[in-house]
Every structure is written in structure tokens, then in C-alpha cells.
């Protein structure tokens, strides 16, 4: 018998679903793994750790290309950290942009609600703003 976990147990150990593990193998994020005598995939501790790395990276919003680059860096531990820092800085900039956009969206939705709940759809500020794009402050502030 060979050492390693079958894909179902690897999925439980890593927190990644079986189809996602297969997908990550297909796109090259996970290397092909050994197989048992009955041709079942067998994952070792290194494979599980790599899956956890990918899962955590996805949870933090890194895209597949960034994760691929981070995994290449992880596979070469003697390299300086500058490249990994750059990838994380890019992700942080994306997050800050999203936060800024969400704050603008929050302000616009608040403005729509504060400007009028007049009791009838005919004078409803929410409906008016959604019907007339020019009245929406969210898009004009994002440009």
C-alpha cells in the first residue's frame, strides 16, 4: 500500500472541494500526484499544504495568475521576498479601490433614501434615481 490520502480525504484536510482539486490540477496549480494500485490519486502532506496555500490565497481574493506566481515563488525559497510583496501590494490596491467604491455606493444609497420616501412610487426618490442614470451620484464620483 502506498502512502497518501485519497482525494476525498485530501479535500477534507485542505478545505477544498474535490472538483476544485481536480480543476487546480488541470490548470497546473497542483502537480499531478501519484496513484494507488487501484489508480486512485494519493496526496501527501506537501500536496495538502499547497492546497491550503491556494485556498487561503483565494479567500484573500488573489486571482489564479497571482496564486500561480506566488506558488512559483514559494517553490524557490532562496529568492528575495520583493516579488511576493509586489503581488500583495497589487492586491491591497485592488481592495482599497473596492472599499472606496463601496463607500461611494453606500453614500449614494443613503442619499437616495434620505431624499425621500414620499409614500408613493410616483414620487419615490429610489425609483427616480434608478430610472434616470444622470441623477445617480455614484457613477459621477467614480469617473
Name the DSSP letter for residue 111: H
Please tell me the distance from the alpha carbon of residue 60 to that of residue 51, in angstroms, as a whole number: 14
Does residue 1 have a pLDDT over 50?
Answer: no
Per-residue pLDDT, 67: 97
Average pLDDT, the chain: 87
Per-residue pLDDT, 26: 94
pLDDT confidence bin for 125, thresholds 50/70/90: confident
pLDDT digits (tens, 9 = 90+) for 40-91: 889 999 999 999 999 999 999 999 999 999 999 999 999 999 999 999 999 9
Amino acid at each position: 500500500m502506498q502512502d497518501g490520502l485519497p482525494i476525498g480525504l485530501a479535500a477534507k484536510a485542505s478545505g477544498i472541494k474535490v472538483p476544485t482539486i481536480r480543476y487546480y490540477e488541470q490548470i497546473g496549480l497542483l502537480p499531478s500526484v501519484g496513484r494507488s494500485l487501484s489508480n486512485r490519486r494519493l496526496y501527501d502532506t506537501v500536496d495538502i499544504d499547497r492546497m491550503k496555500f491556494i485556498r487561503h490565497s483565494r479567500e484573500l481574493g488573489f486571482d489564479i495568475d497571482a496564486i500561480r506566481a506566488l506558488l512559483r515563488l514559494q517553490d524557490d525559497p532562496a529568492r528575495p521576498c520583493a516579488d511576493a510583496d509586489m503581488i500583495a501590494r497589487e492586491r491591497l490596491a485592488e481592495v482599497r479601490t473596492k472599499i472606496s467604491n463601496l463607500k461611494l455606493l453606500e453614500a449614494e444609497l443613503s442619499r437616495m433614501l434620505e431624499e425621500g420616501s414620499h409614500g408613493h412610487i410616483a414620487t419615490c426618490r429610489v425609483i427616480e434615481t434608478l430610472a434616470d442614470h444622470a441623477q445617480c451620484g455614484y457613477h459621477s464620483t467614480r469617473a
